[in-house]
Structure 1
């Protein structure tokens, strides 16, 4: 009888021990899971903060370029129009007054256009292919080189923040081609890489370079990081004397 009581006590104690052990295990697992949740939340907050910083940097860059353009327009275009309008309006010839009024109306139109360019809401009113067409048209109008745009895929409307990133990356790629490549032709092609994704290829027949050589700048890294923020990728291939090809892959 005494032996049976000892066995019962041993079983109860064993049960209590294992129950305690399981409780400790469950508490440890809950604690570990919460730690992982906290780390994941911190990482997500960090990624969001980096994304917002990149967007802010890009918006600031676009606004700075816009302000520089506004300054040039005010000095070279609007200032000249106002001077001519003043001369015509002060003329003793009646017909010159009409010319002066027409110039004042032209100044008003130019000022409105400049005011619109200062507001980044223009990003929402233009599609990516329209923007590219405008940029290539400006380059060709200068006589610098020939340009082509081939749209094999109709891009759906992108969210404003993604469109701002893409616009800035395209601008930077075109600026690099103009500043460093001295090309005769720049070609941009928009295609569908796979369902739900698009590819934008920027090619020039300029000087080219060896991408494996160390670079003094951080341009390629910045472009890669910016494409990463919109779930995209940046790839570059080039050889000396054989031009450069850039491929932007992104969700669409």
Structure 2
């Protein structure tokens, strides 16, 4: 009888012991799961914060560049037109007054055009193709080098965050080519390789040794910016043979 009671006690104790272990295991798993959820939420919040910070920096940079452009236009273009209009109105000849009025009309149109660039509304109203064409025309009009755009399709209806990043990365890539490469020609291709959409920025300039680039370089910054929108950045360059930058758009 005693042995039966002992067996019962052992079974009860074993059941309670195993139940306690299982309960502890479940509680531990729930705790670990919640910890991982909290860590994942923290990572997501950090990624969102970095994304918003990147976009804010890009907006500020574009606004600063826009203001610098407006300053140059006011000084070099509108200032000259107003001086010319003043000379014409100072003449006693009626035909010069008519020329002065035409110049003033031109000034009004120029000022209206500049006023539209004081905010970032133009980012939403312009396609990437149009922006690239404007940038290349501006470079070629300076006589710096020849430029060409080849596009298989029109990049439209992009989210504003993607468009902002692309605009800034393209600007920086072109500025780097002009500052450091001394190219005779810059070519930008907008094309599609299967489901992948890419923007290729090529120049035939001096090129450089990519192994000398550091994590603190401007190219790393451009790569990081493309990653914030789920895109890709690839650079290849050879000394004396030019540089190619491939921007892969997010799917």
**Normalising to structure 1: TM-score of the pair?**
0.93
Residue 105 of structure 1: how far off its partner (Å)? 2.0
Please name the residue that 1:247 is paired with.
246
Asked if 1:136 is matched to 2:136, the reply is yes
Residue 70 of structure 1: how far off its partner (Å)? 0.7
Structure 2 matches for 1:39-58, cutoff 5 A? Answer: 39-58=39-58
Please name the residue that 2:149 is paired with.
149
Please name the residue that 1:116 is paired with.
116
Name the SS for the 2:205 alignment partner: coil
Residues 94-141 of structure 1 show CA distances to partners (whole Å, capped at 9, x for unaligned) of: 333332222222222111111111111111111111111111111111
Distance 2:100 2:216 in 1: 50
**Normalising to structure 2: TM-score of the pair?**
0.94
Structure 2 matches for 1:21-40, cutoff 5 A? Answer: 21-40=21-40
Asked if 1:233 is matched to 2:232, the reply is yes
Distance 1:105 1:117 in 2: 19
Distance 1:5 1:233 in 2: 72
Give the RMSD, CA atoms, in angstroms. 1.7
Please name the residue that 2:77 is paired with.
77
Residues 192-228 of structure 1 show CA distances to partners (whole Å, capped at 9, x for unaligned) of: 1332x31111111111111112459621110110010
CA contact (8 A) 1:155 1:198 kept: no
Greater than 4 Å deviation, 4+ residue runs: 214-217
| Number of aligned residues | 251
Name the SS for the 1:144 alignment partner: coil
Distance 1:220 1:168 in 2: 12
Please name the residue that 1:188 is paired with.
188
CA contact (8 A) 2:188 2:200 kept: yes
Residues 147-197 of structure 1 show CA distances to partners (whole Å, capped at 9, x for unaligned) of: 1111124434210111010010011111111111111111111121332x3
Distance 1:41 1:241 in 2: 48
Name the SS for the 2:157 alignment partner: coil
* Structure 1 residues 153 and 88: CA distance shift in structure 2, 3 A: closer
Please name the residue that 2:223 is paired with.
224
Distance 1:54 1:194 in 2: 29
CA contact (8 A) 1:237 1:245 kept: yes
Please name the residue that 1:200 is paired with.
199
Distance 1:205 1:214 in 2: 19
Q: Which moved more, 1:154-163 or 1:233-242?
A: 154-163
Distance 1:99 1:215 in 2: 57
Distance 1:40 1:7 in 2: 48
Name the SS for the 1:44 alignment partner: helix
